[in-house]
Each structure stands twice: as structure tokens, then as C-alpha cells.
A and B are shown apart, each in its own frame.
Chain A
């Protein structure tokens, strides 16, 4: 057991780093009240703009709130919302793409053109418009990002289904008179999932980044909720107090890059062509 862990780290140092990063942030999200030394919403006007160090490891913001505590609490918003966006868009997108690919012809044409329409919009602009229209809340922001994120899953799934549905095992199921829906759900989709999972794991980082972007523009959370993107935008007004933006920005960076590392490793493991002994 111990031996295999060391072997994994040696083979995939980046993946290991990604897992460590995510483990730390998930821990922050779950145990925020225990880890954070201060209440993230409590203002202390006597201690505004304190630089990092001493009582405040990451300094304080314009209301004298502890930035370290706010970054820790920020994980509670960013991590679940990133994962939720990916779950939503991946589930919907893959099912959508699978139906299009499996039934083909007119169904395929219509479904995929709809997906193309959404793909043709700049993602962040469409997400902004949707978030603004739906109203400001965390859930609405998640929905808005999911709406712009699903077509890429649909595209990928459709392509995979197109190859798989011609394979012999699918043909043989059809020959023995299996229901078409059952074939799609029980045989085809499971056989295509590995590639989709790779896409999903790298996408978590993008989702968190987009969410932070929306909050930066004032369309995600409402104060006093601590959210990384919002915290970054709070600090850009006065660059002399660099720490207000820097630490939440670093958190966004770490989580996104960690997700990418893990995604790469998942691809290496799941892709049969790259398979070696793990």
C-alpha cells in the first residue's frame, strides 16, 4: 500500500500535487469554522488595511476583515459550485449528445445545431447575461455557467457514440431484440464515459474560474459572503494594498491548476493507449 503510493507520486508528481491541493481546499471548505481564526464577516475598523503578518496572516481588507479567514471560507463557495457546475453540465450534455449521436439523422441535426448556437456565443458574455437576467444568487450563477458549459460535453459524447454504435457488441444486442433505449443507457453511454470524465475533471478548474469571474463582475454572491472572485475585485481599487487581491487570486489559481493536474492524470489512467502499469 505504502509502496504503491510512493510509486504513484513518482510516476505522476503533478497529479499528486493536484490531489494535495484539492485535499487542502476541501478540508478548508468542510472545516472552515475550525480553521479560520476570525469570523469572515466581522468588521474591525480599527484594523483596516493591515499588511500580511502577525495577527492576520494574509492581512486585512478595507473593513478590517481577516483575509485568511475569508479565503478559507471562500472555499465553501468555490469548491462546491465548481463541482456542481461540472456535474450539471456533464450530466445534461452527455445525455444530450448521446441521444443526438445514437438516433442520428434529423434528431442529430436539430439537437446539434441548437448546441452550436450556444457554443457560438462567447461563454463569459452569455453567462453574464444569464446571471444578470436570473438575478443575483449563487445558485443562479451556477445555473448560468452550466448552461454555457454543457455543449462541449454534448459534442464529445455525440462523436464517441457515433463510433460505438457501429461496434459489433452493439449490433449483436440489437440483433437479439434489445430495446433501443436500454442499449443506449446500459451499453453505449457507459462505454463512452471515460473520455467524458477526463474532460469533466479538467473542467472543474474552468468552472471555478468562471464563477470567480462572474462574482468579480458583481453577479455571483452578495456581501458579506466571502468569495474569491469578489474579494479580488474588492482589492483592485487600491493596488498599494496588494494583499487584498493577491491571496484570493492565489487560491483561484491553485484550485484551477490543481484540477488541471488531476484531469491530466485521469486521462493518462483511463486512456487505454497511454496505459502502462500504474
Chain B
């Protein structure tokens, strides 16, 4: 009897499944999400007649079919999505799709500034006053129209809250609404990088009335961050954040009234810190994007069924910092020694290990920026390195310590792997590099105070203008971390200061090229060994993928194959 009952149940279930798949088949491809909805609908209608059940299921399927969603697996580095506090490279993709900024960049060429919230702008002859004219009729998800007051409020808030991105607006004197749709930005010093800075996710524009009513004060007592992270976003971008769980998940839904209409209804970003877990999930089809795979992993995944790999450029440069100060650099303070190390490193090998299209730029300006000096022409020459070491007084080599963060792999380039490769290269020239694995906070403390003898470092530009790279010059932020003070290379420091203020691009380009040449001659305390590329594994149902070095990925362009 019992087995009879079981049999009947199985037959009924089979019949139900068949009728479901029949109506699903008529609609084309079913997605994982749809079939669960349909199954749930079928389960809930247990006691109803078979015919009625079928229609319910069909209706549910139809509704779910029209809603598309993709899931992105990413090792989240951000802990907040408040634009005024956000300063993480992977938050850019969220902020870029959720908010509009005054201007944006062309994903194909980041040096090209395109209109976004502002339809046009003028720059005064002295380069100190920018006037932006906004598009009319743009509404936030809250229903309010975007006006000049919102722009002024949001930019002043970035400047005032003293968050991580506040320094970007250091050269901005004031931002004022000079009309309903006119914003005037006044600078205290000429800054040719201003437009590039204004494309950043931090410069997002949102509903200022909601902000002011919920703790937004635009100074250090500002508490709007708590509100914005706990509530749906109020921007005018293609998507709206509906749920954000810090360190876990971001759910974004299409904003129907956006200027740029997205194709996919729902984008979910899931925090998957571990690269091998990302690999497993993308292979299983649980996620559509795996953003943090190493080159070795993407090489394994390339050519697998249902998967595609997408390569993108970055402006991130990786370098070996060799402290130039006598006190902390010791042997490395000698420029001859630094020159010797430059010839001892196998750049081709490092780039091959890093994969994903990595190459070695000739200087601190990455490919894609004004003043890029082309690929490095330095080739490995161990004999020359040994000769230079002998000249410097170390015929038998020497030993130095190099700080490395062991468990970090920005752009899929493992610091430890770089370090082990360089260690092995230097060993052939008789130099012993001790790898000193350090916890991130310990590393940053020592490095920022300029107390590390050497480190494996990475620099991702804060904005997409060569001015940003001037930090590497003597006396500037990174320069001081490397013990490189202004008096050690006064001419270089002076030229850098000049370039920072120059507005003519042809002159700037010449200056940047000259700066890099001079740095090379002075054996600057950095050996830039690679500029990274990024490779993602993506489910092949996702199409029209537009990667960008600036905002990672344009969600609004993505499409899902039917």
C-alpha cells in the first residue's frame, strides 16, 4: 500500500514537471531563478485542480522570465558605499552605476572627459573658475529633480566630512549653485586634473534634501553615512541600491527613469574573498562574474564551456621601493646599488607570471596617461648588475629586508609571487633579499613613515591624470615614503611642481617625459616592474561587457543572452 502511494506521488510529480517544462519551453530559455519560482508556485497550489495549477505556474514563469539578473563575485574591499567616504577601487563600479557625477570618462580612453550630469562647461582663462551647466529634467530615485544645489551640497560634503577622498578637492576653494542649473567651482590653485577628479565615484550627486534631513552637515559631525548605507540609494544613475549589507552583498535594481537605461533588471554583488571559491562558483554557474582570479586560474578556465574571459586594462603600477635615506635604506641609499638591482631583475619573467596582459612601463606614468614613456627597454643583465655592485663597493653582494603583504593580490597579481621572483632574480646577482611578510596595517605604518628598507608596493591612481603620479617625486607623498627628500634632487622636485600647474597638454607631455628620464638618471628609489591587466571569467550568457580601468565595469551596458 505504502509503495503504491509513493508511486502515485512520483507519477503526479513527473506529470507536473512535464507540464511545467512544456510551457517553459514555449517561452525559450529558462533561467535557474525562474524554475525555482515556477516550482514554488506549483508546490503552493497543491490542492487545486491540475488545470488551474498550470495557469498559475505559467503566469509566474512569465513574470520571472522578463526579470533578468546577474550575480557578480568580488572580493569586496569597501566597508561603506557613502560617496563622500568611499575610496576603494571596486566601489567605483557600484557608485558609477548608481549615481551621476558632473562628468564622466570614456571607458575606451580615460583621458577623454565626457558630459554626464553636466551637459557643458566652461573654464576661465586663468584656469581657476569652472562653470558647469546641468541637464534639465533629470530626477533622482526619490522623485526630486537634480539641481545645482544638489551638486554643490554633494561636493561640499566630500570636502567637508574629511573622509578618505576629501583631499581630492584640496585645490577647490568653493562650489556654489549660481543658478538652478548652473554650478560654479572656484579653485585656489590651477589644477589641470580637476575634471578627471570630478569623474570619480566619490563625486557622486544625490538628493541633497534627503541628506540634509538625515544627518548630512557637510562637516566632520556629518552622520549621513549611517543613513545612506542603511537605506536605498537616492542617485540618478542607471541602478538603485536596494539592499547593502556591508562585507556581504549589494543588491541593485534598475532605475526606470534613469537617463541611461540598463538592460538587466537586477545586479547582485556578492563578497567572495577567496579566489579559489570564486573559481569554483563561476564553474558551477552560481555566479556570472569572477572578478579576482589570478592569471593561473583564468588560464585554466579559458576555453571551458559556458565561460568567457574578458581582459581589461588598469593603471595600477607595481614597484620595488628601495629606500634612499642612509638611515633606513642602508646599502640601498647608494644610487649605484639601486641601478645594479634594476639590471638584476627579470621583467619579462615577472610579467609572464602575472599574466593578464601585464607589461613593464618605462617609468612612473602608466600606459594610457599623458606622458607615458612607452614600455621599458631595460633588459636583464646579471653581469652588468654585478659590475655595478662591485663599483658601489659590494663585490660580494649584500642583504636587505623587503616588506611584503603576503595575502594580497590586487588585480590578481600576488605581491608574494612578485617578491619570490625578484628574490630569486637578485640572488643570481649575489644580493640576498629577505622577504619580510607583514600584516597590512604593520606594512602601511612602516611604509607610510618611510621606515622600511624596501617594500613591494602598488600604486593605483586616485584619478586618471598624470598629475597624480607626481606623488613619486622627491619630497612628495610616495617620495618621502622612499626617503627621497626634496634636497636630494631639487631640479626634479622643481620640474614636478611646474608640471602640476601646467595647463597646456603638449608642454605637460614633454615635462612628464623629462621627469621620467631624470628619475631614471638619478636612479630613483623605485623600480617599476609592471603595469597590471585584469582578466575576469564571465558566464557566456552575459554580453556587451565594457570593462574600464576607471570604473571597472559598466553595469548599464550589460545584456543577458536569451
Contact = CB atoms under 8 A, between A and B. Distances in A.
Asked if A and B bind, the verdict is yes
Contact of B297 (A41, A136, A218, A238): A238
B307 interface: no
B320 to A, nearest CB: 15
Contacts of B424: 41-43, 63, 224
A223 interface: yes
Interface string A232-243: 000011111000
**Quick one: which of B297, B406, B407 has the most chain A CB within 10 A?**
B406
Nearest to A241: B296
B68 interface: no
Contacts of A41: 424, 427
A224 B420 contact: yes
Contacts of A236: 276
A69 to B, nearest CB: 15
A63 to B, nearest CB: 7
B294 A218 contact: no
A50 B353 CA distance: 15
Contacts of B427: 41
Interface residues of B, number: 25
Given A237-B275, A239-B276, A240-B300, A224 B423 contact: yes
Contacts of B439: 132
Interface stretch (B117-125, B429-437, B493-501): B429-437
A20 B407 CA distance: 38
A63 B424 CA distance: 10
B480 interface: no
Contacts of A223: 416, 419-420, 423, 435
Secondary structure of the A side of the interface? loop
B296 A136 contact: no
A45 B435 contact: no
Nearest to A219: B437
Contacts of A47: none
B417 interface: yes
A136 B437 contact: yes
A194 interface: no
A136 B276 contact: no
B352 interface: yes
Nearest to B417: A62
A218 B275 contact: no
A222 B276 CA distance: 23
A63 B275 contact: no
B407 A222 contact: no
Interface string B409-447: 000000011011101100100000011110100000000
A64 to B, nearest CB: 10
B143 interface: no
A49 B299 CA distance: 12
Contacts of B406: 218
A237 B276 contact: yes
B73 to A, nearest CB: 16
**Quick one: which of A41, A43, A49 has the most chain B CB within 10 A?**
A43
Contacts of B435: 222-223
Interface string A160-176: 00000000000000000
A42 B428 CA distance: 10
A268 B350 CA distance: 56
Given A41-B427, A42-B424, A240-B300, A218 B276 contact: no
Interface in B449-496: none
Interface in B164-198: none
B349 interface: yes
Nearest to B274: A237
B560 to A, nearest CB: 29
B309 to A, nearest CB: 16
Nearest to A45: B349
Given A237-B276, A239-B276, A222 B417 contact: no
Contacts of A237: 275-276, 294, 296-297
A180 B353 CA distance: 67
Contacts of B300: 238, 240
Interface in B390-420: 406-407, 416-417, 419-420
B420 A218 contact: no
A194 to B, nearest CB: 42
Interface in A66-118: none
Interface string A24-43: 00000000000000000111
Nearest to A218: B406
Given A45-B352, A238-B296, A63 B420 contact: yes
B434 A222 contact: yes
Contacts of A136: 436-437
Contacts of A45: 349, 352-353
B453 to A, nearest CB: 15
A42 B419 CA distance: 14
Interface in A194-226: 218, 222-224
B421 A63 contact: yes
A105 B165 CA distance: 64
Nearest to A237: B276
Nearest to B352: A45
Contacts of B276: 236-239
Contacts of B416: 223
Interface of B: 275-276, 279, 294, 296-297, 300, 349, 352-353, 406-407, 416-417, 419-421, 423-424, 427, 434-437, 439
Which 7 residue pairs of A and B lie closest in terms of their CB atoms, listed nearest first? A223-B420, A43-B424, A222-B435, A218-B406, A223-B435, A45-B349, A237-B276
20 contacts: A43-B420, A43-B421, A45-B353, A49-B296, A63-B417, A136-B436, A136-B437, A218-B406, A218-B437, A222-B435, A222-B436, A223-B416, A223-B419, A237-B294, A237-B297, A238-B276, A238-B279, A238-B294, A238-B297, A238-B300
Given A218-B407, A222-B435, A237-B275, 17 more contacts: A41-B424, A43-B421, A63-B353, A63-B421, A63-B424, A132-B439, A218-B437, A223-B416, A223-B423, A223-B435, A224-B423, A236-B276, A237-B296, A237-B297, A238-B296, A238-B297, A240-B300
Interface of A: 41-43, 45, 49, 62-63, 132, 136, 218, 222-224, 236-240
